[in-house]
Structure 1
Amino acid sequence: MTSALPTTRPADRPFDPPEGLAELRERCPLSRLSYPDGHLGWLVTSHALVREVLADPRFSIRSELQHLPIPGAPGSDQPAPPGLFSAMDPPRHTRYRRLLTGQFTVRRMRRLTRHIEDLTAEHLDAMEEHGDPVDLVRVLAQPIPAQMICELLGVPHADRARFQGYALDLFRLDASPEQRASAYTAMHEAIGELVAAKRAEPADDLLSGLTASDLSDEELVNIGFVLLGAGLDTTANMLALSAFALLTHPDQLAALRADPGIAEHAVEELLRYLGIIPFTVRTALEDVELHGERIKAGETVTVSVPEANRDPAQFVDPDTLDLLRSTAGHVAFGHGVHQCLGQQLARVELQVVLPALVTRFPELRLAAPAGDVAMRTDMLIYGVHELPVAWER
């Protein structure tokens, strides 16, 4: 029995999962979990069981069935409105997923590589011109993913900072219900204005393309909400946290700098090692036998993504960052039908930006002690609030 989901990261090991999860995985990879609202559900911490739960259609992602394991996590006790496909089960989820999958194929995302390279070079030029020290979050990690997802959706440049602010408010664990509701409403209204503009004057972007389908305005707004909410915050944090990890692992930093061709391997390992998504939840639609236990219909299962990616049964020496290891089977993007739709875009961005950064600035270093870097422990998506860096000129 676990009285609460562990959320405290080791102060001297900011890249490790919260303390206590590894012990739970070794002792009892499927354990009882008490939720903040009084619900008695389950916690899964092993790699094999995480994949099993995420692939089993008897476990639902529907929002109205879920109980959330930490206070302040954004959720809803209502069924997902039309278009909010991330909180739907098949077949409702399948309809939207099929409409969007073609927009995020590996081939299409790789065609964006040159654009991402040019964009990265522009930001690195500006960073060098500004001079050190700089906050890598502000000058590089946030703006590149934001510009890419906004360009894909057709968000005007002038509106990008506003949307990013809404996304940050939605992911704050200390936000009041009123603050979160205000950000949710404002973001929906802004996307509604964008959808109306696309219907009136379609352009060459994802939202414009979807206006030619049979989707309603409400569906288009909620699809835009899902894609913007994910695209504005996740990759930005992965970029910044990856840079922090490399700067505190000089042997791995040197390996990437010496051979930028290992970027694909390096990114998969950083995705496995860092675990910026702390959990996901599913609820049993019927009684399910799992690891010798009966999970009853209506019970919520919290899946620990970071701990699954540190399971020694799947990865040799999992607590060591090794950019050349095999990371086959990692669940950083989830697993099953709800695996992250934008994962290929995130991969391309990471594979371009990280090697470009470390080769452009061979003497890049932290401009503050590692222990002074402010971690995003107050946010649902883990990362750093700021990452001050400097370099020799």
Structure 2
Amino acid sequence: MGVDLADLVKDVKRELSFSELKGKKVSIDGYNALYQFLAAIRQPDGTPLMDSHGRITSHLSGLFYRTINILEEGVIPIYVFDGKPPEQKSEELERRRKIKEEAERKLERAKSEGKIEELRKYSQAILRLSNMMVEESKNLLRAMGIPIVQAPSEGEAEAAYLNILGFSWAAASQDYDSILFGAKRLVRNLTITGKRKLPNKDVYIDIKPELIETELLLKKLGITREQLIDISILIGTDYNPDGIKGIGPERALKIIKKYGKIEKAIEYGEISKRDITFNIDEIRSLFLKPQVVKPEETLDLNEPNEKDIVNILVNEHNFSEERVKNGIERLIKAIREAKGASRQTGLDRWF
């Protein structure tokens, strides 16, 4: 879910052209991307793509072809995968589990009643990403020559850390948490760019990458990163999903700008102490000092292993061999060109 900062970033986010991203590395929240592929790549009735053994393959299809598309635009992806979630996230994870269980019941009812639109809706709502799906995604990326990073905890925190250290030009996710974790830049819509159908509507829209620059956002709002974290805590984060009842983004911004921090707002009676059912300092620390790890390598692109790609997609999961081999040809060419663009981008800084 992540924190909902949409109302606060709307005046600073801007459309981002791929030409601006050419030759740049972007650290992508891997779980977020895989969920996007699972949600978007489906049959007309909402069921995901599957192989002959009934195993879901939507995530592999999206990962293979979408990553090639990104590379062909000159963007160098680094996929970052979640580790063990913090204990403070257990409430949010339990909430998501209950939502899926309810969606499963509604899906069965929709099947019995033959309601196609509801089938699509609830099929997407029961999305689950298994450990096996994650591991085969990592194996596919390795075979493709794409750098991956295993985070000790939150993938978004690690993606932001790579950005802070200069391993990437920006972090990429649909959620806004990367900003709270300290990313200098957040790119949204990178893995879902193109024409997309609106949920529950027979309407398609053109989705383009968006850029949010943290320094510009904080300057526009007149606050610090620490204060943005406090605002997020009042709204509700993955570590305190309910936030404070009756406080939305705009009011949270006013409160923190007036009092500076949550404790002062409590001291002056703006917020009732009874409404604080979580540890403020613990949540702040999760954003300011998350569990992250510095990579031991430079996270560069490598030459693809055609045999391994074919084995994973064609032999294991029944993908079309012709389509996959065409994709591999595009992949090899795109990686070589992306490497060249990256070197040129590096050289440009000296002139």
Q: TM-score range by the shorter chain?
A: under 0.3
TM-score by length of 2: 0.25
